[in-house]
Amino acid sequence: MVAVETISTAELGDRSYIAHDGTTAIVIDPQRDIDRVEVLLSELGLVCTLILETHIHNDYVTGGLELSQRIGAKYVVAKEAVVKFDRYGVKNGDELCAGSLFVTVVATPGHTEDHLSYIVSDHEGSTVVFTGGSLLYGSVGRTDLVDPIKTEELTHAQYGSVHHLAEILADETPVYPTHGFGSFCSSGAASGADASTIGIEKQQNDALANPHEDDFVNQLIAGLTAFPSYYAYMAPINRRGPTPVDLAPPEPVDRVVLARRLHAGEWVVDLRTQHAFATEHLEGTISIGLGDQFSTYLGWLKPWESPLTLIGENQRSIAEAQRQLVRIGIDHLDGVAVGRPGDLAEGGVLRSYPVTTFAVLARAGEVIVVDVRRDDEREESHIRGSLHIPLHELIYRIAELPKVALWVHCASGVRAGIAASLLDRAGHEVVLIDDDFSNADLAGLLG
């Protein structure tokens, strides 16, 4: 039987996998921090002989090349992919072996032009399929990351690819996608399932349940939303071949250096929650709480080459932030400071702003509300009379906002917390609405 171990990277909405026969292993789409893979291989007593990439990733830096060099496994990448490193190139129909496991390569273009899926089976007839950014749970991988001009062409290809998989695989075949667990590489509405099969996907998948290819293509393209700006840097890094990951502790900075960097307007990011930041923070710092969306929004908002200093309450939070950042190619931190704002102030100003709820907003009278959700979220429903600037546009559009108190909200409080800190940094008076958007409806605020 083909056994499968899942390595989840919830922070990016992705999964990597280890398929094995109890002795020999295949690793599929490993993330940059490969120590997680190595630990699991060791714990299970497995020897990895194949590392498979389904595609040149657009949302994270791969660990596949470094892992192959460290353990001596064959690094399998699409033959058609243009890369600057040695790999074992494969194409549709090729077959590979790993112990008692057999791998069949299936071309599944759509998410990228040279995307591959891998069917893994054994002598007993056990079969699974690793679908990368092709067939996801309930949906498919987005098709606009390669080149906007090719989006329609790739969307047609995506439709054909998932239908081909459904035709050649039995209904009971388990499906293991890389994307679809919160990644912006997904299109449509992923089902939220933790597992699925070809048969289940035939019933619920956006592409497989729609018999009309043109309808599917038009719907997918119409539903594409904004994606993180750092995606533009991921594929080039992966095509060059990422450098070895370095998780050594960053250089600490003292209060004097920290104050100098804040005065210079550098990016100094506070890792505490948005509520803790609002209660007290150093003037000029930016709030991006260390959670599942930390690296996504930091990578999306920070100018790519600009200096970055982190402030954490302890070394553990710094280490976790560093791990998340190397996954998206932010390898160098200009420094870190550990402690609470009052301990790190060097003649600087400690600031704060109010935190509230939608229920309080409903009783507040005439105030200016700023909605920082995406365009598609705004179209579904919004607060009457509110202004709208998506978070990823805010830095460039702050000048559009009036110099009055701004009540800032998103869907859960996370993005609003980031936005409030950016507005506070720019000299605006802000009120953070740290609340679930469903409560805006309960408060009678929706237009």
pLDDT given at position 57 = 97
Superfamily of domain 255-351: Rhodanese-like domain (3.40.250.10)
pLDDT given at position 349 = 83
92, 96, 101, 103: CA torsion to nearest 10: -10
51, 52, 55, 56: CA torsion to nearest 10: 10
pLDDT given at position 191 = 60
Predicted confidence (pLDDT) per residue in 47-98, tens digit: 999 999 999 999 999 999 999 999 999 999 999 999 999 999 999 999 999 9
User: Topology of domain 355-442, per CATH?
Assistant: Oxidized Rhodanese; domain 1 (3.40.250)
Helix (H/G/I), strand (E/B), else coil: 174? strand
Mean pLDDT of the chain: 96
Mean pLDDT of 248-273: 95
pLDDT given at position 187 = 79
Q: Is the pLDDT of residue 190 over 80?
A: no
Decide: 174 and 120 in contact? Cβ < 8 Å.
no
Residue spans of alpha helices (H) in 169-212:
198-204
Same fold, 255-351 and 355-442: yes
Under CATH, to which class is 3-240 assigned? alpha beta
Decide: 41 and 18 in contact? Cβ < 8 Å.
yes
Distance CA 3, CA 26 (A): 10
Predicted confidence (pLDDT) per residue in 289-312, tens digit: 999 999 999 999 999 989 999 999
| pLDDT-derived band at 188, boundaries 50, 70, 90 | low
Predicted confidence (pLDDT) per residue in 339-385, tens digit: 999 999 877 689 999 999 999 999 999 999 999 999 999 999 999 99
Distance CA 269, CA 438 (A): 29
In angstroms, what is the C-alpha Rg of the chain?
23
Structure tokens that stand for 115 in this block: 């995307």
| pLDDT-derived band at 33, boundaries 50, 70, 90 | very high
| pLDDT-derived band at 441, boundaries 50, 70, 90 | very high
Count of Cβ atoms closer than 10 Å to residue 434 Cβ: 21
Distance CA 244, CA 252 (A): 22
Predicted confidence (pLDDT) per residue in 192-239, tens digit: 789 999 999 999 999 999 999 999 999 999 999 999 999 999 999 999
* DSSP sequence for 33-53: -THHHHHHHHHHT-EEEEEE-
Mean pLDDT of 14-42: 98
Whole-structure pTM value: 0.95
Decide: 141 and 158 in contact? Cβ < 8 Å.
yes
Mean pLDDT of 389-417: 97
| pLDDT-derived band at 179, boundaries 50, 70, 90 | very high
pLDDT given at position 189 = 61
pLDDT given at position 447 = 84
Of residues 413, 408, 410, 409, the one with CA closest to residue 428: 408
Pairing mode, strands 127-132 and 175-177: parallel
pLDDT given at position 151 = 97
- Domain boundaries defined on the chain: 3-240, 255-351, 355-442
Structure tokens that stand for 176 in this block: 């293991």
Give, as one character, the DSSP assignment of residue 304.
Answer: T
In 204-314, where do the E strands start and end? 267-270, 281-282, 286-287, 308-312
Predicted confidence (pLDDT) per residue in 143-172, tens digit: 999 999 999 999 999 999 999 999 999 999
